Amino acid sequence: MYYEEINHATKNYPFLIEHTDVKYIPHFHDEPELVYVVEGCISVTIESVSFTLKEGEICIFTPGLIHNLYSYTPNKVFVMKLFPAVDLGNIQLCNNVICRGDEVYNELLENINCIINENKEKSTGYELCVNICAEKIFLLIIRNMEYRKLEDTAQVKLANKSDFLNSITAFLKQHYAEELTLDDVAKHLNYTKSYFCHHFKRVTGVTFWRYYTIFRLEKSLQTMKENPRKKLIEISESSGFKNVRSFNQSFKEYYRCTPREYMKKYYVENNSE
């Protein structure tokens, strides 16, 4: 996803969603993001640091921070992005995770649950209530969580990492259906192959090949959605996989089902209603 082009908040209302089995490849966005694990657990990577976010825990991502979320087991996750009145783009949290027992936890959870309920029920004035609770959440964060101001040099480094990821994914957008090599991508960025591999893992927390594979899988999902009755061989070829077998293997490893099962469950059945 690199710079996330979808699921944006607006100035007037947050982006809110409840996910199951969440999967996001390394990306960043302009808004701060809150992730609350309702059930189960998820794997989180913030740049090169990975950890498990457990049931009941809350994680905060500040603007521009490269992160990804991945599910190994079934889960339910609430995600909120918004543009708060206070600017969080120039701070770095000392700890991104809030757990039960933390001083601010109960009050945060009360506001999160209020947002979830108001957004579902949509009673008169729900937008105002959601916005008030969302602002309270980020007020609680800046008043109660430890953070440090980012110096100009640190902000430049963060921007450079974002630019690096943008450059790679812009290249992949044009060439993902081709048989790319590490040399191809490294040469495009004027890096040696070894430095590119090392730097990519340090910036994103995953290897380039994993990122590239997931990038192509997301393209395959887009094709399925647009044409749910398209043949698998056509989907695999248009997504850059050598053959249907490698496509099936990669898809099943990431989504825990075959492409055909996924299409039948999410697209073909819904399309036939």
First to last CA, the chain: 31
Give residue 96's Cα distance to chain centre: 15
**CB-based contacts of 48-56 (< 8 A; 24+ apart in sequence):** 48/201, 48/202, 48/203, 48/204, 48/205, 49/205, 50/205, 51/97, 53/97, 56/99, 56/100
pLDDT of residue 1: 45
Each residue of 234-267: pLDDT tens digit? 999 999 898 899 999 999 888 888 988 888 876 6
One-letter amino acid for residue 245 of the chain: R
Whole-number percent of the chain with pLDDT over 70: 93
Q: Which two tokens stand for residue 2?
A: 């690199």
Residue spans of the domains in the chain: they are 2-149, 153-271
| Mean pLDDT within 221-231 | 85
The reported pLDDT for the residue numbered 36 is 97
User: What does the alpha-carbon distance between residue 36 and residue 78 come to, in Å, rounded to a whole number?
Assistant: 5
Asked if the model's pLDDT at residue 120 lies above 60, the reply is yes
| Confidence at residue 272, expressed as pLDDT on a 0 to 100 scale | 44
Identify the CATH class of 153-271.
mainly alpha
* Distance (Å, whole) CA 82 – CA 54: 23
Q: Assess whether pLDDT exceeds 80 at residue 205.
A: yes
Domain 2-149 bears CATH identifier 3.30.365.10: no
HSE on the CB side for 181, CA within 13 Å? 6
Tens of pLDDT, residues 132-176:
999 999 999 989 999 888 777 766 777 788 888 888 888 998 998
Q: What is the pLDDT of residue 29?
A: 85
Quote the distance between the C-alpha of residue 168 and its chain's center.
17
Strands (E), the chain: 2-3, 15-20, 23-28, 33-39, 41-46, 49-54, 58-61, 67-70, 76-81, 91-93, 97-98, 147-149
Contact (Cβ atoms closer than 8 angstroms) between residue 56 and residue 37: yes
The partner residues of 61 in beta bridges, in order of sequence, read 33
What integer pLDDT is reported at residue 8 of this predicted model?
61
CA distance 117 to 123: 10
Average pLDDT estimate for 219-229: 86
- Per residue in 67-93, pLDDT (tens digit) is 999 888 889 999 999 888 877 878 889
